[in-house]
Amino acid sequence: FGTGYSSLSYLHQYPFETLKIDRSFITELPPDDTETQGLALVRAIQMLADSLQMKVIAEGIEDESQRQALLRVGCRYGQGFLFAEAQPAATWLGAGRPLLLN
């Protein structure tokens, strides 16, 4: 969410259950509790999803500090090299599930 063809109007037009936060936002997360624009945007997306009763999946989590920052703003699902390298879809069909961050 937040890049390309994403738009707030789509949240209103279609019955989405999950938002994915684009990796470009995750790479901007600070390594500590410092308040930054990147952290504020991720928090705002999480709060928007919470108010719409949607799940959030963060893309591109590469290190523990990013995972911790996401946990602090309430994001519980994520994907990225911190958890596993990219693999063929056939590897995960029937077994793949979003990972809980905690």
pTM beyond 0.75: the answer is: yes
Q: 73: which 2 tokens? A: 């703003």
pLDDT of the residue at 82: 92
pLDDT of the residue at 55: 96
Active-site residues, by number, are 59
What one-character DSSP code corresponds to residue 53?
Answer: T
Can you give the residue ranges of every domain in the chain? Answer: 8-100
pLDDT, tens digit only, all 102 positions of the chain: 566 666 778 887 888 899 999 999 999 898 888 889 999 999 999 999 999 999 999 999 999 999 999 999 999 999 999 988 887 777 766 665 555 566
Domain made up of 8-100: CATH architecture: Alpha-Beta Barrel (3.20)
* Cα distance between residue 27 and residue 22, in whole Å: 9
